[in-house]
Structure 1
Amino acid sequence: MRNRYTDLPKINEKETKKELEKKLFKYRDYLISLPTYLMPKITPSYSITPPTNTNAFHSSTEDSAIERIEYERIRDEYLQEIHKAVNTLKDQERHIIIERYLKHDELGYDREIWMNMGVGKTKYYQIKGEAMLRLAFALKVEVYQKSEAKTG
């Protein structure tokens, strides 16, 4: 008889943390940057555009404005997704994730954070590890180990 608990997939913690960090660094990128390709062109480009009676033609400024609005909508949704997930964490876990990954101005350093929290290095990494796994599940970026095919 098979044990249903041993058949559960195992989490690949290392890969899960990598995927989570990618998502958190994307959060930081959204906070601090707006791609230059979304900025309107400042120098004029001359071309002959035939007159049209439809609204299909947009100037590059209009296209840039539309792209910028869409980018901002996507960015805002992404930021909200991260905020909601981080807010599900316990207080110490939330503190670590925010200090380490989400501050706008600079990344925190683990040593600084555990010293400011007044916890030891081992306890800090235990809390951080749990926070990262909990956050990975909340954001649905967990990575499972490949199961080996059973013969028999």
Structure 2
Amino acid sequence: MGKRRKNNLQLTFNILPIDEKATRRAVEEYLETVRQYRQIGFVRREAAVTQAYVYREHQSTNAISKQTERIAIYNVDKEAELKEKDRLLSLAMEGLSSVQSEVIQRSYLDNEGEFDYISCGEMGLSDSTFRRIKVEALNILANSLRLEILIKAEYCLK
């Protein structure tokens, strides 16, 4: 058998303490957002204009409600943000090995509802190997997407 090849992007420097649970949660939320965007697309908001038949006095704040403007800005900005997230995830996935990429694709980006043990059987991997590959891939994605969350340490300088 040949040597096991390490991924070039996997660096193990323990310079800064990383909160692993919070980082994993952030990467999973990112992957879920991209999965929903890929499957559903962007759902635009629309202005709800309802006429009131009763006269309503306004306060003298001289404030103007710009509902349509806020909704238009949200629609443009949010759609651009989701497209950028999708593009960055595609670039980050190219840095993974083929097995890591398939594990992330099956676990997070394909249709929801498939359990990991089914993916393990289809890929011919043991459960522990599947979980190890998944953790390694999530760490690489967190690093590539800059989603790592550091543990806040309070240092006192006296």
Q: What TM-score does the superposition give when structure 1 sets the normalisation length?
A: 0.68
Structure 1 contact 39–64 (Cα < 8 Å) conserved: yes
Report the 3-state secondary structure (helix = DSSP H, G, I; strand = E; otherwise coil) of the residue aligned with 1:23: helix
In 1: Cα distance, 2:14 partner to 2:117 partner: 38
Structure 1 contact 114–121 (Cα < 8 Å) conserved: yes
Match status 1:25 vs 2:32 = yes
Task: Report the identity percentage.
Answer: 25
Match of 2:146 among 140, 145, 149: 140
* Count of equivalent residues: 133
Gaps of 5+ in 1: 1-5, 47-59
Deviation digits for residues 15-54 of structure 1, max 9, x if unmatched?
2111111111111232225335x2477x8869xxxxxxxx
Match of 1:127 in 2: 133
In 1: Cα distance, 2:117 partner to 2:16 partner: 33
Worse-matched range after superposition: 72-81 or 128-137 = 72-81
In 2: Cα distance, 1:107 partner to 1:98 partner: 13
Report 1:68-83 matches (<5 A).
Answer: 68-83=75-90
Distance 1:17 1:64, change over 3 A: closer
The alpha-carbon deviation at position 77 of structure 1 amounts to 1.3
In 2: Cα distance, 1:39 partner to 1:7 partner: 48
Structure 1 contact 101–108 (Cα < 8 Å) conserved: no
In 2: Cα distance, 1:13 partner to 1:135 partner: 13
Q: What TM-score does the superposition give when structure 2 sets the normalisation length?
A: 0.66
Match of 2:8 in 1: none
Distance 1:141 1:67, change over 3 A: closer
Q: CA RMSD in A?
A: 3.4
Report the 3-state secondary structure (helix = DSSP H, G, I; strand = E; otherwise coil) of the residue aligned with 1:141: coil
The alpha-carbon deviation at position 86 of structure 1 amounts to 1.3
Match of 2:20 in 1: 13
The alpha-carbon deviation at position 68 of structure 1 amounts to 4.2
Match status 1:101 vs 2:108 = yes
Report the 3-state secondary structure (helix = DSSP H, G, I; strand = E; otherwise coil) of the residue aligned with 1:17: helix
Report the 3-state secondary structure (helix = DSSP H, G, I; strand = E; otherwise coil) of the residue aligned with 1:146: coil
Deviation digits for residues 58-116 of structure 1, max 9, x if unmatched?
xx6x997775454433221111111111121111110010111112x334321111111
